[in-house]
Amino acid sequence: MSRRGNGEGSIYPVADGYRAFVWVTTPEGVRKRKYVKRKTYDETRKAWRELKAAVDKGPVAVNAPTLAIFLLYWLREVVEPNLSPATYARYETFTRLYLIPGLGQRRVDKLTVKHVREWLNVLRRTCQCCALGKDAARSTPRCCALGKCCKSLLSERTIKDVRDTLRAALSIAIAEEIISKNVAGAVRLPTPRKHKRTWWSAEEARQFLESARQARDPLFVVYVLILVLGLRRGEALGLTWDDVDLDGGQITIAWQLQRVGRQLHHRETKTPGSAAVLPIPDVCVLALKDRADQQAADKSTAGEAWGSGALVVTTKHGTPYEPRNFNRHFHAACRRAGVPPIKVHDTRRTCASLLVALDVHPRVAMQILRHSKIAVTMDIYSEVPSEATRMALRRLGDSLGS
């Protein structure tokens, strides 16, 4: 053992190593001793010096909670009151399935970069069907419960999302002066590969809309809103008649409809940037008028059974339209129209092609698509549709008008 430095008299031997203490000021303003313990003198002195450095920076918590206890507090007091229900559900799932089982027993102030890195590597190699007992829960097991592991591994995207959840929670631990360093933020992960996204050409979008119009599809107005205005599914299903100005030719995007767990939420859009007042082309105005007539007929038929509310898109009984049911209806409409199936969200990219075909000015298109830079819009505008597509879309508008 080397000669002790100034103040190192607080390091002393114990039965299974060495122990040291430093006088700290807790976040509550109370002076207390905080102890560290390691197997060797040098390791203890290093931990002691790190603790002293933390004391110089500000208050230090003496009795830090386990990560499991802190995560439950974070979800209850920070996430649930301040973030969207969908975000809370996402964080809660990652916490329950991965973070608490893997790291929950460790104290927050004892968690290291090495702990997080090693745990993520184990998580990456672990079959989730085995770990979560998915096959064992089936009425008829077919893989892992029979000893035939299906190697159901998490994607790199999910691994990153789990790490980001831990990082978000530890940032609050830093703000509340429980820890001084976010160890999750120091763990580097490979960049997940982006999946190749597909979208329709303007001609395919026209073919889809023509098919839906001819079939008198009750969700035709939603197809027009997501394809011509680039609305997200939740924004289109959450649109109210109070936000529609048919005479002025504009709509206000301020609400969205979300399914979280067993509950439907009609709430404000996720960010201020998502909210906007959009000018709407004639084809949208005509589709909305057609929808108003259709809804009036449904309301008359339903009578007292008509649900309350002022949503543009409803079932025949006036209730909100279930987002997952819309997905199924959308894919069925794709098959009926004979166009390649795409994800509902990918219609936003298709939207730009239709705006070109409708001769919408790039600046207006930028506002509709809610792009932050005109260069992004102009890059999309380089795709020029055929004159036949332009004429077909005009005919579509004429058929709606009649």
What pLDDT does 22 receive?
A: 82
What pLDDT does 386 receive?
A: 56
Instruction: Please give the structure tokens belonging to residue 249.
Output: 């030719």
**Helices assigned H by DSSP within 75-131:** 80-82, 85-94, 100-103, 113-125, 128-131
**Burial annotation 140-157 (CB, 10 A radius, 16+ → b, else e):** eeebbbeeeeeebebeee
What pLDDT does 322 receive?
A: 92
Contact 351, 168 (CB under 8 A): no
Query: Domain spanning 202-401 has what CATH number?
Result: 1.10.443.10
67-186: in CATH 1.10.150.130: yes
**Burial annotation 347-375 (CB, 10 A radius, 16+ → b, else e):** bbbbbbbbbbbbebebeebbbbbebeeee
Where in the chain are all domains bearing CATH 1.10.150.130? 67-186
pTM (2 d.p.): 0.69
Q: Alpha carbon of 72 to those of 4, 80, 166, 283: distances in Å?
A: 42, 11, 12, 49
Where in the chain are all domains bearing CATH 1.10.443.10? 202-401
Contact 18, 41 (CB under 8 A): yes
13 DSSP 8-state letter: E
Block residue for tokens 């035709």: 220
What pLDDT does 4 receive?
A: 47
The secondary element (H helix, E strand) that includes residue 364 is helix 362-369
What pLDDT does 6 receive?
A: 47
Per-10-residue mean pLDDT, the chain, length 402? 52 85 73 80 86 75 82 94 90 95 91 94 93 88 89 92 96 86 91 73 86 92 90 91 90 87 79 69 88 91 83 91 93 94 85 71 70 62 55 58 52
Instruction: Please give the structure tokens belonging to residue 146.
Output: 């029979």
- Cα 24 from Cα 180, distance rounded (Å): 14
